[in-house]
Structure formats: C-alpha cells, structure tokens
Chain A
C-alpha cells in the first residue's frame, strides 16, 4: 500500500463545477504539499499545510491531521485548471524537500 493515496486518479469536469481531490496518508508528517503539474511538465507548488485550511484565489486546501487526510478544492473550475494535481508529504522530522508523493490526479475541465 502506498504511503500517500490520492483519489480520484482521473477527473473530468465541466467548466464552472466545484472540484474536490482527496489525499490520504499513512505516515506521521510535518507538512503536506499540493503541487500542480501542467502538460508541459513543469511543477508549481500550490500549498504547504501543517494544519487547518489555506485559500488562494479559487483554490482551497484543508488538512485533518487526526484523520490523516487532506482535500484540494477548486471553485468555479476553468479549462486552464486542467493539470495533474499531486499530493506530497514530509515525513515528520525529515528535511523540507524529502517528500513522499502520491500518484497524482489528472483533472480535465471541459468548456
């Protein structure tokens, strides 16, 4: 079993829909990261969370440490949100970039 599991693997949505991507992990962590990877391959860090909730524009990320679960929400989705979203965790006590990655959720938003 992978230490970081994401669901769903693939997601197709219509423009304007509310989207949720889930991430569960089985290790003790110091932080959880949400990353976005566009078809060209580049990776952008969206959020780094250790508790609670963060919001940036139409993106919201939440984490429940007790349940070892995080969600990434996209409100009013747009075709430009089409990308692979990757959840990654820092093992507790590990260095910042020593991440364990989920396999990613491929999101396609249709106009």
Chain B
C-alpha cells in the first residue's frame, strides 16, 4: 500500500459529460502529480500541485483542470468528455516538489479507470 488513495477506481460515463477524480496523497506529502495512461499515448504527465499551488504543467488539455485543497487532497476535473479521454488516470505524491533537486521517490495511487462511451 503506497498510502496514496484514488477514487473512484472505475467510472463509466458518456461523451460530453464531466467527471471529477480525487486523490489523497500520503500523509506529509505536499506534492501531487496527475498522469494519464492511454493505449495510444502511453503514460503522460498532466499537472503538478505543491502545497495548493500549481507548479508544473504537462500535456493537459484545456478541458481538464485540477486543484489542490488546503487538506492537500487534489481533484482532477475532466469536462466535455470525448471517447479518446478513456484512460487510466494516476496520481502520485512526494514530500517536496523537487525543482531539479531530487528529494525522494514518488508514490503512486492505484489509478482511476475512466471509460467514455
């Protein structure tokens, strides 16, 4: 058990809908990272939050947004869903944000599997 909790584990929805994925980091970890794993693109970094603030942005679509709350849990909001958004969405956490200095390993959640029909 990594200590990172993601909900829901599975989600089936229709095109055009909006969903929210939730991530609770390990106790004490200030950084949360979101990743998407799809069959055609593989794993991609989406976005990072550190202590409530956005720190880094990757290949995140404009239809997607995220935030980190004062209790450090994070939510990834996916809107106007398309078939191609079907994927596994992972979050990971670490103690710090790094900034080029490696301060420790990443701890991954079990993922949320999104199916868009």
Contact = CB atoms under 8 A, between A and B. Distances in A.
A43 B92 CA distance: 9
Contacts of B96: 96
Contact of B94 (A43, A50, A93, A97): A97
B106 A92 contact: no
A41 B102 contact: no
B100 A94 contact: yes
B31 interface: yes
A35 B108 CA distance: 10
Interface string B103-117: 111111111010000
A33 B104 CA distance: 11
Interface of A: 30-31, 33, 35, 40-45, 48, 50, 86, 88, 90, 92-104
A30 B2 contact: no
B43 interface: yes
Interface of B: 2, 31, 33, 35, 42-45, 48, 50, 55-56, 58, 88, 90, 92, 94, 96-111, 113
Contacts of A94: 56, 98, 100
B43 A95 contact: no
Contacts of B108: 35, 42-45
Most buried by A among B43, B55, B113: B43
A49 B113 CA distance: 29
Nearest to B57: A98
A99 B102 contact: no
A51 B64 CA distance: 36
Given A41-B111, A41-B113, A43-B108, A96 B42 contact: no
